[in-house]
């Protein structure tokens, strides 16, 4: 796995203590890896260990020598499927369905964290955030307080200029505490920006519906159309649920749509300070076409 060489820590690393790039989390969140071929002989100049060694160190099982093209065709025919890796003949009596678990509660931070100093105060509700969201907000002049998905924000909301609800895994309807928090924030007219799962949570808090997609969006080249300007942006995405754009309540409007399948990719309120996007404006990985969304959000709440 490529990893940049370590020099002196940057001011942000000293203050924030986040994992160094290119990592967006402090651990692997995968349950398993399936690949057609694996090579132990890595050659990238910054590589320290192989993919297999990295997975083994994190306790993540992997399977190689699989016809992944045939597997992809099966998924393409039937939609997203449950799967499992069987090792040495050991079998599980049932498939684990992650859609029945509150995955947000499993991956969210357990404590309040603070990053940056002296900027516009922003609370980031951690539903499984990517660290580049914090890096970008700090770089753009924010003082970021990261809160767990179910944290009581009554005090923090009084101290902040705006709230960002992060990305995260699983069915958004299971993150009931975050949905309830978003409703409270809207009643208090606190500015909110939702990202990915945060987009779905904001929609549910507003009264819209979400649904499980037959085929999720898993790529960093998803084209999205801005409903205002008609401009198409290349975006980074990784989600299996979507907002039903037909269910938007009065006062809300579609901001972005996916140019491939027409699904909803963004919402905003016509008069309130609330907006959200299904894609990742912080990229990491992916194109940086939509970084301006974070910039404009901070500019409006300063």
Which candidate in 115, 199, 239, 280 is catalytic? 280
State the alpha helices, DSSP H only, in the chain.
11-16, 51-57, 68-78, 103-107, 131-139, 154-159, 176-187, 197-206, 292-301
Burial of 110 (0-12, 13-18, 19+ CB in 10 A): exposed
Half-sphere exposure of 24 (CA within 13 A, CB side): 18
Rounded to whole angstroms, the Cα distance separating 149 from 126 reads 5
Q: Point out the catalytic residue in the list 24, 143, 265, 282.
A: 282
- State the Cα–Cα distance between residues 215 and 209, nearest whole angstrom: 18
CA-nearest of 148, 111, 154, 133 to 196 is: 133
End-to-end CA distance of the chain: 39
User: What's the alpha-carbon Rg for the chain, to the nearest Å?
Assistant: 20
Find where tokens 């799962």 sit. Answer: 197
State the catalytic residue, choosing from 151, 196, 217, 224. 196
The neighbouring-strand residues paired with 224 are 233, 258
Nearest CA to 129 out of 157, 163, 169 is that of: 169
- Cβ atoms of residues 84 and 124 within 8 Å: no
Residue 196 annotated to the active site = yes
Active site residue 291: no
3-class DSSP assignment, residue 175? coil
Catalytic residues: 196, 280, 282
């Amino acid at each position: 796995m490529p990893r940049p060489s370590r020099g002196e820590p940057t001011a942000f690393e000293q203050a924030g203590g986040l994992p160094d790039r290119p990592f967006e989390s402090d651990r692997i969140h995968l349950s398993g890896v399936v690949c057609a071929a694996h090579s132990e002989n890595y050659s990238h100049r910054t590589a320290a260990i192989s993919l297999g060694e990295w997975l083994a160190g994190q306790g993540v099982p992997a399977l190689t020598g699989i016809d992944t093209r045939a597997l992809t065709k099966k998924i393409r025919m039937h939609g997203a499927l449950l799967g499992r890796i069987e090792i040495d003949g050991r079998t599980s009596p049932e498939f684990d369905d992650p859609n029945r678990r509150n995955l947000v509660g499993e991956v969210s931070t357990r404590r309040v964290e603070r990053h940056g100093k002296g900027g516009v105060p922003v609370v980031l509700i951690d539903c499984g955030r990517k660290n580049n969201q914090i890096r970008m907000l700090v770089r753009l002049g924010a003082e970021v307080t990261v809160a767990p998905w179910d944290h009581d924000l009554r005090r923090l909301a009084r101290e902040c200029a705006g709230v960002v609800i992060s990305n995260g895994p699983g069915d958004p309807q299971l993150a009931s505490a975050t949905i309830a928090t978003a409703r409270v924030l809207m009643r208090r007219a606190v500015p909110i920006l939702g990202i990915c799962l945060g987009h779905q949570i904001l929609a549910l808090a507003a009264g819209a519906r979400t649904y499980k997609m037959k085929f999720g969006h898993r790529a960093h080249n998803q084209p999205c159309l801005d409903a205002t300007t008609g401009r198409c942006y290349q975006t980074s995405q990784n989600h299996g649920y979507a907002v039903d754009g037909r269910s938007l309540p009065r006062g809300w409007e579609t901001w972005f749509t996916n140019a491939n399948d027409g699904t909803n990719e963004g919402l905003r309120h016509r008069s309130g300070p609330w907006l959200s996007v299904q894609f990742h404006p912080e990229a990491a990985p992916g194109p940086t076409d939509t970084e301006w969304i974070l910039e404009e959000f901070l500019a409006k709440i300063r």
